[in-house]
Chains A and B, each alone.
Chain A
Amino acid sequence: MYKVKVYVTLRESVLDPQGKAVQQSLSSLGYQGVEDVRIGKYMELQFDDSVRDVEGTVKEVCEKLLSNPVIEDYRYEIEEGAKQ
């Protein structure tokens, strides 16, 4: 049993208008020190023991579906035996 945490974020070269709007909102709340905000997605995947190559599979699904490589980067963490 594996729990996989996947983070998908816009590439650095891509403008993030949503993040920009949140940054401006924080600034108007008085948090002048928040220089930049980037908004992304967080996903949790639960793998059962039938999946042999968990890391390989995670990479594959990230590239095929969970992220769009044209505009997004992804990273992941794999935790063993996480399900209670």
Chain B
Amino acid sequence: MKFAVIVFPGSNCDVDMYHAVKDELGEQVDLVWHDADNLDEYDGILLPGGFSYGDYLRSGAIAHMSKVMAAVKKAAEAGKPVLGVCNGFQILLESGLLPGAMLRNKNLKFICRTVELSVENNETMFTSLYKKGEKISIPVAHGEGNYYCDEATLAKLQENNQIAFTYASDVNGSLSDIAGITNEKGNVLGMMPHPERAVDELLGSADGLKLFQSIVKHWRDSHVVNA
């Protein structure tokens, strides 16, 4: 399986994401600059964390206008897995690939620590190797991770099982403790916690690795005959 890690000016988790895929997952991966207009050769798209364009205007607001995002949308429409982590999640929200928006953390502080997440939906291509309700330890590092959407959108998220991860206890004020959501089709996941920083026990937790392994499993099951 071949992944693209999209790099924007100001991305700073791109190399962690690259390392997670190449060295821990053992799959092919390229760093792809934001002005690329074609992602056809890739089977999975990863939008890393950071501060694209210095978070000017709003987090992710400028990045979602960049050339590569048309290709990311095309990949999402084709059903390819698209994962946005932290700033990557914010970019997916700004681009409309996922519903809702991010507000400043309730306590106005930048929160940087490992938190406990609950796997709410293990029937997605990103979470199939977890158990439903499983508690996993994944680091967060953000100032604007306070997820917000209107009541109708929240009801829809719940109804369609689009909430993939929640915080086991309140971290940043997010509505319904939402830590990660998918689109309706289930092939686009945005999450504030950083699974790519939890892929080896040496890093304190390897709980994030199963997320990447789930993506690969889904791809093998649907693309490789006699897998």
Considering the chains assembled together, what is the distance between the CA atoms of A66 and B146 in angstroms?
A: 20
Q: How many residues of A contact B (CB 8 A)?
A: 13
Q: Does B107 contact A (CB under 8 A)?
A: yes
Chain A residues, CB < 8 A from B108: 17-18, 21
| Known interface pairs A14-B148, A17-B106, A70-B148; A65-B100 also in contact (CB < 8 Å) | no
Q: Which of chain A's residues 61-84 have a Cβ closer than 8 Å to chain B?
A: 65-66, 68, 70-71
Does A45 touch B at the CB level, under 8 Å? no
List the B side residues contacting A41 at CB < 8 Å. 57
Taking CB atoms, residues of chain A closer than 8 Å to B61 are: 65, 68
Interchain CB contact under 8 A, B104 and A17: yes
- Digit string of A24-63 for contact with B (CB within 8 Å is 1, else 0)? 0000000000000000010000000000000000000000
Chain B residue total in the interface (Cβ 8 A): 20
A1 at the interface (CB under 8 A from B): no
B26-48 near A? 1/0 per residue, CB < 8 Å:
00000000000000000000000
Q: B35: shortest Cβ distance to chain A, in Å? A: 18
Q: Which residues of A contact B104 (CB under 8 A)?
A: 17-18
Q: What 0/1 pattern do residues 96 to 108 of B give for CB contact below 8 A with A?
A: 0001110111111
- Chain A nearest Cβ from B52, distance in angstroms: 14
**CB nearest to B100 among chain A residues:** A70
B1 at the A interface (CB under 8 A): no
Complex Cα distance A66/B57, Å?
7
Which residues of A does B touch, CB under 8 Å? 10, 13-15, 17-18, 21, 41, 65-66, 68, 70-71
* The 7 residue pairs across chains A and B that have the minimum distance between CB atoms: A70-B101, A71-B101, A68-B101, A17-B108, A17-B106, A17-B104, A68-B58
Not counting A17-B107, A70-B150, a sample of 15 additional A-B residue pairs whose C-beta atoms are within 8 angstroms of each other reads A13-B150, A14-B148, A15-B103, A17-B105, A17-B106, A17-B108, A18-B108, A21-B108, A41-B57, A65-B61, A65-B65, A66-B57, A68-B101, A70-B101, A70-B148
